[in-house]
Amino acid sequence: MITYEDVRSNEEIRTYITAGNNALGIIGLTEHGFVHAGRTANTAAKILKSIGCGEREIELARIAGFMHDCGNMINRHYHAMHGALVAFSSLQKLGMEPQELSQVVSAIGNHEGTGQAVSRVSAAIIIADKSDVRRSRVRDYNEQHLEHDIHDRVNYAVRRSNIEIEGDQIMLTLDIDTSVCPVMDYFEIFLTRMLMCRRAADYLGLHFALSINKTRLL
């Protein structure tokens, strides 16, 4: 049985994640390396654990979360589908059973763009990935760059982010430094992602909520 630790320590998989993160760095996008991979894996596991999923399903969410961005080594566009194919090859080589492999690949392929929640694992990956907004994802801070790049500006403005599940509600709480960017900038680039989170939460039987600077917005 393939474990999260098997995947996290696998040199081939780590090489693909590193290559994708390096490629995005060259074109000026935020961090998509091991920190983001680990946070996505852990948040997805936290979400499924909170709703009473079994340990193996939680483990599959960790695996999918860690590998979800490996397709960036091919191209940023359609990276979810590319990543699903990369994951299929790597995990099949490791001997993952087809039933489990299909869950992981489906979750990776549905985490971006036209994707949507088609399983509890995929729903958890969508929410975990989209909620990872933070200052430390910005690679090269300088005021001139932030002025012209809204994605880096928004990430840099987020001093703290947290996601919690209480009852039937999953709440993303952000602390945004409005001297760096107004709250509206967040919605300009993340509204589609927040709608994906809401639909994913609906799939899990939860209500997605967003609070920014102690004001509930969704």
Q: What is the pTM of this model?
A: 0.95
Whether residue 135 has pLDDT greater than 80:
yes
Indicate the SS3 state at residue 27.
Answer: coil
Mean pLDDT over 118-142 rounds to 93
pLDDT at residue 101 above 70? yes
Q: Which of 115, 85, 82, 121 is nearest to 4 (CA)?
A: 121
Cα–Cα distance, 66 to 218 (Å, whole number): 28
- All structural domains of the chain, each given as residue ranges with its CATH number in brackets, are 4-216 (1.10.3210.10)
Give the three-state DSSP class for 25.
Answer: helix
Query: How high is the pLDDT of residue 144?
Result: 65
Q: Give the tens place of pLDDT for each residue, 176-211.
A: 999 999 999 999 889 999 999 999 999 999 999 999
User: Could you tell me the CA-to-CA distances from 1 to 6, 10, 42, 133, 134 in Å, in that order?
Assistant: 10, 15, 20, 33, 34
Task: Answer whether residue 157 shows pLDDT above 80.
Answer: yes
At CA 201, angle to CA 196 and CA 203, rounded to 5? 100
pLDDT classification of 21: cutoffs 50, 70, 90: very high
Task: Give yes or no for residue 71 having a pLDDT over 70.
Answer: yes
In percent, how much of the chain has pLDDT > 90? 88
What mean pLDDT do residues 108-129 have? 96
pLDDT exceeds 90 at position 123: yes
Residue keyed to tokens 């602390």: 175
Lowest mean pLDDT among 43-47, 135-139, 144-148, 184-188: 144-148
